[in-house]
Amino acid sequence: QKMSRPLERLRVIINHLDRHPAGIARQAFLFLFYYFFFFQFGRYTLDNDLLTPEQRLFYEENGFLLIRNLVSKQDIDRFRREFERICRQEIKVPGLVVMRDVAIAKSEFVPDQRAVSKVQDFQEDPELFRYCSLPKILKYVECFIGPNIMAMHTMLINKPPDAGKKTSRHPMHQDLHYFPFRPVDRIVCAWTAMETVNRQNGCLVVLPGSHKGTLQEHDYPEWEGGVNKMYHGVRDYDPEHPRVHLEMEKGDTVFFHPLLIHGSGMNQTQGFRKAISCHYASGDCYYIDVKGTTQENIEKEVKEIIVRRHAVGDELTFKDTWAIRGRLVQGERISM
Ligand SMILES: CCCC(=O)SCCNC(=O)CCNC(=O)[C@H](O)C(C)(C)COP(=O)(O)OP(=O)(O)OC[C@H]1O[C@@H](n2cnc3c(N)ncnc32)[C@H](O)[C@@H]1OP(=O)(O)O
Ligand SMILES: Nc1ncnc2c1ncn2[C@@H]1O[C@H](COP(=O)(O)OP(=O)(O)OP(=O)(O)O)[C@@H](O)[C@H]1O
Ligand SMILES: O=C(O)CCC(=O)C(=O)O
Ligand SMILES: [Fe+2]
Ligand SMILES: [Mg+2]
């Protein structure tokens, strides 16, 4: 891994110190250097010419990085039109999962965006999937996970106006809970606002630095008004923990680590708050068996849905469901 300019300069100083042992000052300097290099600078980002040292350090420290105005308005308008065609059932996309908010899931079906709170797994829709292969996005993704890039999970979220039961909220969670692959630091999410996203319509809420922790136990939060299917939250969520609301404009994109605790607030407007996202993993990642881990509960739910939807039995594993959906978008597919 080649070093960046400032780090190279530090390396020169280190070499100099190595040749001139100067007791405690030298020891202290070496300690600080290695501490910062390995634990602060190098763990969550890779060396590259795109991110400034400040941006790298910000991601290392906070677990997310917001890039303003990354995706063009024209592209976003195209994603929006494609989403509307899907909602009007003008096209049928193989493998697409359409979710309606739990508050209206049992009401009469309207073939309109009003019924749809999220579509998932649009890897077979060339227009929406274009988002996952945008060179502008991949350049950033490479800074976090390297040159071999798999698009593993795709979503277009259409957060509906809250029906009065706060079901439009997304509980605080770590995305890794859903993923049976590792290593964790070679996974990143890109999430792009398709319009102004603010506290009113339910922007992302993040706990900065939480990516430095471990994967926590997740379960359905105990919310009076109900919770959407599979919207697990961290079990011991502390509402007092300092949090940051990510207010974004159309085209702004946030990249975040899969251990970053995040969620989104209630949509208190009459509009449908839209965002498009993709989770990427390195082609060098590998699948793990989640048996005996905190992820067993989500594996069980996914399996139940698959059995119901496709009338298959145990032969399709949790891993398989990911390997089938994953698509290579750059470099090589090694072990995914
Ligand atoms: C990094 C990743 C992070 C995440 O992915 S977090 C969120 C993960 N969420 C998901 O993966 C969403 C999964 N959703 C789905 O698979 C489907 O929408 C779901 C829930 C299976 C329903 O799909 P369908 O079976 O096509 O729908 P349906 O209208 O026939 O309903 C079947 C039964 O499910 C219920 N349902 C539908 N939407 C729901 C919702 N949002 N929350 C809770 N329950 C819901 C619906 O009421 C019906 O129940 P019943 O059988 O009548 O008792
Ligand atoms: N018990 C819980 N478990 C997990 N997540 C929770 C829990 N309670 C709230 N959250 C989540 O915390 C985040 C903040 O919730 P809140 O409803 O206060 O939204 P907000 O819009 O950020 O706040 P405000 O209303 O002050 O603007 C949301 O993602 C919400 O889903
Ligand atoms: O757009 C949102 O509300 C966040 C969704 C999210 O974090 C998720 O689905 O994993
Ligand atoms: Fe998430
Ligand atoms: Mg709120």
Alpha-carbon distances of 71 from 63, 118, 122, 276, 289, rounded to whole Å = 21, 20, 18, 11, 36
135 in the same domain as 20: no
pLDDT in tens, 101-131: 887 666 655 666 667 999 999 999 999 999 9
CATH number, domain at 317?
2.60.120.620
CB 199: neighbour CB atoms within 10 A?
A: 13
Task: Give the separation between CA 298 and CA 320, rounded to whole angstroms.
Answer: 15
227 in the same domain as 177: yes
User: Is 207 part of a structural domain of the chain?
Assistant: yes
Instruction: Write out residues with Cβ below 6 Å of ligand 2.
Output: 169-172, 199, 205, 221, 233, 237, 245, 263-266
pLDDT in tens, 217-245: 999 999 999 999 999 999 989 889 899 99
Q: How confident is the model at residue 1 (pLDDT cuts 50, 70, 90)?
A: very low
pLDDT at 38: 55
**329, two tokens:** 């978008």
32 in the same domain as 140: no
206 alpha carbon – ligand 1 mean position (Å): 25
150 in the same domain as 69: yes
Domain extent for 175: 57-330
User: Is 336 part of a structural domain of the chain?
Assistant: no
264 alpha carbon – ligand 4 mean position (Å): 9
pLDDT in tens, 31-80: 676 666 655 567 899 878 899 888 998 999 999 999 999 999 999 999 99
User: Is 250 part of a structural domain of the chain?
Assistant: yes
99 in the same domain as 134: yes
Task: Give the separation between CA 336 and CA 281, rounded to whole angstroms.
Answer: 9
Q: Name 291's Cβ contacts closer than 8 Å, sequence gap at least 6.
A: none
180 in the same domain as 37: no
Atom of ligand 2 nearest to the CA of 268: 21
273 alpha carbon – ligand 4 mean position (Å): 15
153 alpha carbon – ligand 3 mean position (Å): 12
Residue 336 has pLDDT above 70, yes or no: yes
User: Is 234 part of a structural domain of the chain?
Assistant: yes
User: Is 49 part of a structural domain of the chain?
Assistant: no
Q: Name 52's Cβ contacts closer than 8 Å, sequence gap at least 6.
A: none
User: Is 30 part of a structural domain of the chain?
Assistant: yes
Alpha-carbon distances of 97 from 82, 122, 331, rounded to whole Å = 15, 8, 28
Mutate to test the pocket of ligand 2, among 170, 172, 246, 260 (most ligand atoms within 8 A of CB): 172
Number of domains in the chain: 2
Lowest-confidence region among 106-115, 166-175, 250-259, 291-300 = 106-115
User: Is 312 part of a structural domain of the chain?
Assistant: yes
Task: Give the separation between CA 275 and CA 143, rounded to whole angstroms.
Answer: 22
pTM above 0.90, yes or no: no
Q: What ipTM was reported for this prediction?
A: 0.91
